[in-house]
Structure formats: structure tokens, C-alpha cells
Amino acid sequence: MKIRSILSRIRSLASDRRGNVLMLTALALPVVIGATGLGVHTLQLSLTKRQLQRQADSAALAGAHSLYQGLGNSAAVAAADRSLEQNGMQTSALPTLTPEPFTGSDGTSYHQTMLVSVAVPVPTPFMAIFGNSSSTVVAQARAAVVRDGNFCYLALEEAEATGVRFQGNTNLDLGCGVATNAKGASAVVAGGSAFVRASPIAAMGAVPPATNYAQGTVLLPNYTHVNDPFSDRDLNPESEDVSNNACKNGNSWKTINVPSGVTTTSAELIATTGVGGPGCYGTISVSGTLTLSPGTYYLGNGANNAGLQVNAQGKLICHGCTFVLTSTTPNNQNSFPNINVNASAELDLSPSTSGDYEGITMYRDSRAATSNQCCTINGNSSSKLSGAFYFPDDELTFNGTSGMILNCFQMVGKRLKFTGNSNILNSCTPPGGEEKWAFDKVRLIS
């Protein structure tokens, strides 16, 4: 009887809908709680992952920027750590900061990267029912200094202005990239009938597209700041190099003057006049043909018709030389000389191969007042130029002539202007090494 009674009650319960709902609810309740907990914690973990990834990305970029600035690994780690703190990294987070070279899966090698890996435990109380009271969220980011090419021409202008201008009927094959730190709406301008082969062309401001650029030219507007490749050198002369005793005989400037029709050398001038080799002068004026000995030639007289003058039909030859336009009174910004090279003059110049001015053919003292008219590179079709022309506070104009031979040729000025025709070969190692003339930027690579 008891068994029959129990079976009867089970049959009646099975046919009772309220009983079914109760049983199903009891059976489903752990699943519902688990699913709810899983959903809540999945959302929580996803949000934490997103926040952590942003922190890792920012830290990796901060560290890589320090590497880009040449501050070293310790500074890069400190910058990455500081970024994590500023972005509210949780105290329980466990960051790993590693500056290191890296080779990507595609075989690309990066010499400078910052790897940031951050792990943080996240409590998951709902999931504790299933024995999982916490989960670890990990975010990883790697930022690298990435090469975008190389430049040989840099305008240091940083204002809302035009830094580089191609104009007139110029036809140029520059053999290298062009950069400016100008931030204007037309930081680089190509106008008139100018035709330019140079790539990439980069500016902190805008680089308006133009038909003046050869097909395939890469324009890089809104680019990062490009460092002055000579910023680590102190190029302004020592006072003893440009003192009155060094630059004058008594009250008269030392000069080199080669009249038309005369051909001479440093050695011949020294033998006849006592001057003519490396040293300080008020004026070097060439109307004939002059071959100078290797070394540094300081020009310290800022008066009219002083400085470096290569006149019509004049020919100046100097291999392994640097011409420094400076002053015996550097506190007077207007006492610095100019260069004046006639368009029909012939230049055959190459830079110093050692010392402070290694790789530099011509330099104008950075203490000089900014000039838009002081500095034009001229020369006839027989001219040969190499090395860097460095005019950090001046507008430097290149007025090339078809037939000029320019090899390993660089220009750095406050502003650059190109108005002539030339085909320039720049398959060389520039002054200070390729790293100083590289288009580098920082970006996330993983």
C-alpha cells in the first residue's frame, strides 16, 4: 500500500503544472546564476582589458618616444612607468617594461622598441560558485621607432609659415627627401613651372598636393618634429679663432684677393704675402682661379663686399675645407658676413673630413641676425659641390645650373628655397651618419 501511495503521489505531481515549474526552476537556478555571473564578469573583464590596453599603448609610445630622442633605455623605462601612473594604473597591476630590438613576423627589424606588458587580477565573486574567484587580465603593446626614409634637406622653421619653397622654372632631382618643421597651411610649396623629384616630402604642417611633384612622390603632412642633424655640435668658433689678432694685421683685415686672369694657390700666396692658408680673414675675393689648402677658413668681416666673394668667371677650388661666416664681435648680430657667388662663377668644393666641421662645407654662425638675402648657392655648369651647407638662422637659396655635379650634398637652413636646375646624387653616408638624417617616427607595431 505504501509503495502504491508513493507512486500515486508521483503521478499526481507529474500531472501538476505548478510542480513542474517548481522543479524546473530549481534545476535551472544554478545555470541562471552562472550565466548571469558569466555575463557580468565578461563585461567587467572586457572593460578592464580595454582600459588596460589603452594604458599599455600609451606607456609603450611614451617609452619609444624617449628612445627616439636618444635618451637611452633607462629613460625609456622611466617614461613608460610614468605614463602608467599618470593613466591610473591599478596598484595591483604587474607591469613589465622592456626596451629591446625586435623582428616582426614579416621579417622587419626594429632597432628600438618598447614592449609593455601589464597584468592585473580582477575579482569575480559570482564565478566563485564554480571555484573561480578571480581572473587575470593581460594587455601587451609594443611601440617602435619606424624609418620612413631619409632626408638631405631640412628647413628648421617652426612657425606658422612656409619652410620649403620650389619656384620658377626649377627642375630638380634631389636624390633624397625634404623636411621642414614649419606648421603652416602651406609648409611646403611647389609653384610656377617647378618640377621636383624628391621623396618623401614631410612637414609638421600641411603639404598641399601639386602636379609639380614627380609621380610616386610621398607627401607626409602633419609629420613629427625632425631633429637638426647638427644640433649636437657646437660649431660657433672659439674666440681665439676669430680674435683681432687672428683675423687682422694690426688694424687691417687679412684678405685673399685673386684678380681676374690670375691663377694661384695657398702655398704661392703664403710665399708671397704671408697669408693664404686656413685661418681667419675679412674677405676672400676670387675673380681669377684660387686653389686653397684643406682646412677651416673663418670670415669675420660683416662689411659690404666682404666675406666670401666669388665673382664672374672666378674659380674657387677647395677640397677638405669648411668656410665659416662668423664675426669678431659676435654680440653684434649685424656684424656677420654673407656669401656672394656669381651665377657664372665656378666652385669646386668638398667638406672637411675631420674635426668639428667634418662633413660641413659652409656654415653661418648661429648668432648672426636672421637674413633672407645673405645666402645663395650659385655656380656655373662646371661647378662641383659636396657636403653640407648649414645656415641655421637664415633662408638658404639653391640656384643650381644644369650640368653641376652635386654628390653627397645637403642643405639645412631656417628656410630653404630652390630656384635652379640640378640632378643631385646622394648615395652616400651623410655627416654624422644616416641615423641623424632619417625620417623616424614612433608608432605601435603590436
Specify if 160 maps to a domain: yes
Specify if 140 maps to a domain: no
Specify whether 115 is located in the same domain as 220: no
| Cell reading at 49 | 582589458
Query: Which of 85, 105, 132 is at the close of a domain?
Result: 132
Specify if 141 maps to a domain: no
Specify if 32 maps to a domain: yes
Specify if 11 maps to a domain: yes
Specify whether 232 is located in the same domain as 377: yes
- pLDDT for position 136: 84
- The packing angle between helices 17-68 and 73-86, to 10°, is 140
- pLDDT for position 135: 78
Specify whether 52 is located in the same domain as 120: yes
Amino acid letter, residue 86: Q
- pLDDT for position 360: 98
Name the pTM for this structure. Answer: 0.79
- pLDDT for position 90: 67
Specify whether 118 is located in the same domain as 233: no
- pLDDT for position 396: 94
Which residues constitute the domain of residue 221? 149-444
Specify whether 206 is located in the same domain as 342: yes
Specify whether 123 is located in the same domain as 223: no
> Which of 210, 178, 179 is closest to 195 using CA atoms?
210
Segment holding 400, helix H or strand E: none
Specify if 72 maps to a domain: yes
Query: Which of 81, 97, 132 is at the close of a domain?
Result: 132
- pLDDT for position 130: 61
> Measuring CA to CA, how many Å separate 353 from each of 212, 248, 318?
36, 27, 12
Cα Rg for the chain, rounded, in angstroms? 35
Specify whether 177 is located in the same domain as 264: yes
Specify whether 293 is located in the same domain as 357: yes
Q: Phi then psi for 4, rounded to 5 degrees?
A: -60, -40
Specify if 137 maps to a domain: no
Specify whether 115 is located in the same domain as 177: no
Query: Which of 132, 165, 196 is at the close of a domain?
Result: 132
Specify whether 92 is located in the same domain as 213: no
- pLDDT for position 410: 95
pLDDT along the chain (446 residues), means of 10: 60 58 59 58 75 90 88 91 83 80 89 90 67 78 89 95 91 92 95 90 95 93 92 93 94 96 97 96 97 97 90 96 96 92 94 96 94 84 94 92 87 93 82 87 87
Total domains in the fold of the chain: 2
Specify whether 374 is located in the same domain as 402: yes
Specify whether 288 is located in the same domain as 430: yes
Amino acid letter, residue 123: P
Specify if 331 maps to a domain: yes
Residues 52-82 as b or e (16 or more Cβ within 10 Å = b): bbebbbbbbbbbbbbbbeeeebeebbbbbbe
